[in-house]
């Protein structure tokens, strides 16, 4: 929440239409007119499309005004328009002013898998004691992080942010804005997502390390002890390092892990001689590290271990991330938000232990570059051992199907898209089936997952 006065002072902009009352308040910022929240301020960014073309739609949808570089067409004469030299630069400047106004602790989370689930779990462990700002969406880049900071209000006591990496220096730049005092690095697998955008896995690790390099000496860096690349980054930070994991030398350690199938998992967590039992209402053994990271952040910010462990159980599952959804005829493991090789194998491990008939709907894993062919073949072999029916969605996923068939699987099918997959599933599914849905975001397999839990599927 911020005022027009703060915006004008931070950006040097000027009101060219509408009321110039400096006490006009905005509930946040928006860049997409389709999902803009009433009361927010629209930033007409230029990217794949020119936001100026949608300023009228944003204001018609309830936005209180727009930040523009030129007067857009289709905007009411009395609409509030603030002209600036560069909209993207203006967004950054007002976000910096907002961060200055609210010097609360910020938690930064990065890694090649599990960022959003870790963010949600961390918000849960902190939520019993603090009012937490944590965006539901994966706002983790140079647009999303500033927009998140525009949501800061006087009652917020801590913010939990994802920080994404695409090019060297990006996370360092985001940290200059967000100023985290606690940083988490989840995992950097051998076959990370977005590999095609970077020269090597080592370069990705170096980019992720920018988070912990930015931490102050009195901050805390939480590093995954079970990931050799992540724990190897420890010398790069001035902050106190806490290793978390199942490794014997982890300071924050999980033991006695009890996987409960689709009902989640529990484990004993130990830290500095104290222990507690934690429960996570999400399935998948790979989420033990996510849980530990969330508990570790809470401890770093003063929450007692037992309280943090108990609060973990209040986690509301992030949409389309290891979410178990039960329809009238089938159960869907909806992990459709995105896909990397490590995450797909983890999801197949969960499916393999499910009782009854198992179906794996696996889409392309995009942006893997030279790793793509081998990664899809490995997934195909794993799927053959994990599912009774395998459906590959997309051009790359045809390799999954070929590899499954080569491994002896007799019920593996390749389809072009989610719509074709739904037609096939409606023919093949039986009452009581469990269906895993996972693929890269570009395939929009979340729509398939939604359709599968609707009526008249099996």
Query: Which pLDDT belongs to residue 226?
Result: 97
Query: Which pLDDT belongs to residue 457?
Result: 52
Cβ–Cβ < 8 Å for 68, 52? yes
Q: From CA 281, how far away is CA 315, in angstroms rounded? A: 7
Has residue 195 got a pLDDT over 60?
Answer: no
pLDDT tens, residue by residue, 8-67 = 999 999 999 999 999 999 999 999 999 889 999 999 999 888 999 999 999 999 999 999
Q: Say what the pTM is.
A: 0.89
DSSP 46: B
Provide the residue ranges of all domains of the chain, joining segments of one domain with +: 2-87, 102-312, 323-452
Query: Which pLDDT belongs to residue 189?
Result: 79
Computed from CA positions of residues 61, 64, 70, 74, in that sequence, does the dihedral angle turn out positive or negative?
Answer: positive
Query: Which pLDDT belongs to residue 124?
Result: 97
Average pLDDT score over residue span 167-171: 91
Average pLDDT score over residue span 196-224: 89
Query: Which pLDDT belongs to residue 193?
Result: 61
Average pLDDT score, the chain: 94
DSSP 217: T
Has residue 130 got a pLDDT over 60?
Answer: yes
- B/e letters for 65-104, b = 16+ CB within 10 Å, e = fewer, are bbbbbeebeebeeebbbbbbeebbebbbbbbbbbbeebeb
Query: Which pLDDT belongs to residue 201?
Result: 83
Residue 418 tokens, joined: 């989610």
Query: Which pLDDT belongs to residue 14?
Result: 97
Has residue 242 got a pLDDT over 60?
Answer: yes
Query: Which pLDDT belongs to residue 271?
Result: 98
Query: Which pLDDT belongs to residue 417?
Result: 96
pLDDT tens, residue by residue, 365-424 = 988 888 899 999 999 999 999 999 999 999 999 999 999 999 999 999 999 999 999 999
Has residue 257 got a pLDDT over 80?
Answer: yes
Question: pLDDT-derived band of residue 446, with 50, 70 and 90 as boundaries?
Answer: very high
Fold category of 2-87 in CATH: 3.40.1390
Average pLDDT score over residue span 124-151: 92
Matching CATH number, 323-452, of 3.30.230.10, 3.40.50.1980, 1.10.1740.10, 3.90.190.20: 3.90.190.20
Question: pLDDT-derived band of residue 191, with 50, 70 and 90 as boundaries?
Answer: low
Query: Which pLDDT belongs to residue 113?
Result: 81
The CATH class of the 102-312 domain is: alpha beta
Has residue 197 got a pLDDT over 80?
Answer: no
Cβ–Cβ < 8 Å for 375, 191? yes
Question: pLDDT-derived band of residue 455, with 50, 70 and 90 as boundaries?
Answer: low
Question: pLDDT-derived band of residue 194, with 50, 70 and 90 as boundaries?
Answer: low
CA quadruple 442, 444, 449, 451: dihedral, nearest 10? -160
Query: Which pLDDT belongs to residue 244?
Result: 98
């Amino acid at each position: 929440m911020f005022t027009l006065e703060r915006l004008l002072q931070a950006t040097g902009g000027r009101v060219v239409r509408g009321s110039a009352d400096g006490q006009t308040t905005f509930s946040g910022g928006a860049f997409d007119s389709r999902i803009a929240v009433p009361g927010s301020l629209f930033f007409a960014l230029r990217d794949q499309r020119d936001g100026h073309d949608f300023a009228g739609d944003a204001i018609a949808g309830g936005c209180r005004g727009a930040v523009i570089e030129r007067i857009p067409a289709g905007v009411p004469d009395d609409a509030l328009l603030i002209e600036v030299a560069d909209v993207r630069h203006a967004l950054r400047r007002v976000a910096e002013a907002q961060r200055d106004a609210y010097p609360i602790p910020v938690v930064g989370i990065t890694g090649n898998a599990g960022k959003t689930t870790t963010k949600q779990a961390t918000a849960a462990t902190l939520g019993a004691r603090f009012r937490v700002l944590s965006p539901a969406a994966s706002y983790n880049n140079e647009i999303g992080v500033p927009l998140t900071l525009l949501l800061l209000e006087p009652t917020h006591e801590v913010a939990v942010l994802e920080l994404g990496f695409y090019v060297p220096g990006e996370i360092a730049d985001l940290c200059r804005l967000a100023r985290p005092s606690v940083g988490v690095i989840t995992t950097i697998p051998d076959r990370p997502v977005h590999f095609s955008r970077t020269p090597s896995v080592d370069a990705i690790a170096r980019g992720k390390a920018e988070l912990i390099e930015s931490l102050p000496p009195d901050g805390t860096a939480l590093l995954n002890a079970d990931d050799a690349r992540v724990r190897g980054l420890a010398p790069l930070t001035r902050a106190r390092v806490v290793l978390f994991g199942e490794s014997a030398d982890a300071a924050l350690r999980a033991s006695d892990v009890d996987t409960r199938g689709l009902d989640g998992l529990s484990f004993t967590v130990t830290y500095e001689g104290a222990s507690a039992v934690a429960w996570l209402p999400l399935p998948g053994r790979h989420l033990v590290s996510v849980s530990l990271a969330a508990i570790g952040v809470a401890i770093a910010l003063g929450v007692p271990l037992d309280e943090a462990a108990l609060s973990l159980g209040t986690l509301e599952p992030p949409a389309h991330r290891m979410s178990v959804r039960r329809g009238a005829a089938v159960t869907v493991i909806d992990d459709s938000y995105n896909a990397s090789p490590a995450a797909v194998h983890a999801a197949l491990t969960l499916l393999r232990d499910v009782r009854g008939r198992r179906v794996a709907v696996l889409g392309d894993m995009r942006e893997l570059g030279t790793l793509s062919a081998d990664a899809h073949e490995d997934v195909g072999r794993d799927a053959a051992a994990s599912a009774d029916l395998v459906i590959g969605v997309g051009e790359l996923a045809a390799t999954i199907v070929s590899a499954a068939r080569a491994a002896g699987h007799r019920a593996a099918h390749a389809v072009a898209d989610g719509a074709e997959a739904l037609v096939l599933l409606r023919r093949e599914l039986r009452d009581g089936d469990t269906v895993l849905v996972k693929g890269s975001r570009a395939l929009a397999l979340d729509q398939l997952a939604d359709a599968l839990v609707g009526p008249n599927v099996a």
